[in-house]
Amino acid sequence: MRHMGNSGKLAIISAVVSAGLLVLLAMTLDETVMYIFLGALAIGYLACVAEVFTRRRYFMLVLGAISTILFIAFGIAFLRMWGLAFNQDENALGSAVSTKDSDIYFYLAALAGCSSLLILFVGAVWPSRRAKAVARPAARRPAPRPASRPSPAPGRTAQRPAARPASGTVKRPAPRTPAKRPTSGSAPQRKPAPKR
């Protein structure tokens, strides 16, 4: 979960809460639980969209948008057919349609809604190639060796001891020759006296 932002973490939490609420809804069939379940789904959907948009997975975003559009279209078709079936006036909007024909729209709407949530959830949670590439070299890197000497302060160059020769003798520097004095034939140079 390190590769995800806050939206991705919220999407995972919403998915877990929604799964628990779905089980509770199947057991109780309570209207309040259904509204809480739909609210958790809506929060998870928005969190997935935000995370997919943040991670720039536009292909998954387009697939999720197409699935969402199909979910809305099939849901409207399903409700419309039920509205026509329960209409008392048969000539209000044409001939009445039986409720048996609306089942296919319900199943298609459920399939489109689940696929939309699944596509966006995978787009938000699936790790990117960069995260995998960064994790692999870190795992293969050998452990750092302990330093026997403290590292020099920044800005200073490290002073290393001079290399010793292979034999046991140590070379000593050559003695310095004294500076040469001017010969007696040359006239000594005098400094001019300061003017007063």
Picking from 124, 110, 116, the residue whose alpha carbon sits closest to that of residue 63 is 116
Half-sphere exposure of 3 (CA within 13 A, CB side): 15
C-alpha to C-alpha distance for 91 and 95, rounded to whole angstroms: 6
Q: Kindly give the confidence (pLDDT) of every residue in the chain, 196 residues in length, as a single tens digit, with 9 standing for 90 and above.
A: 566 788 888 989 999 999 999 999 999 988 999 999 999 999 999 999 999 999 889 999 999 999 999 999 998 888 777 665 555 555 555 444 555 566 788 899 999 999 999 999 999 888 877 655 555 555 555 556 655 555 555 555 555 555 555 555 656 666 676 666 666 565 556 666 666 6
Picking from 108, 43, 42, 119, the residue whose alpha carbon sits closest to that of residue 77 is 108
Global pTM value: 0.56
Token pair for residue 109? 């709407």
Picking from 92, 76, 74, the residue whose alpha carbon sits closest to that of residue 84 is 92
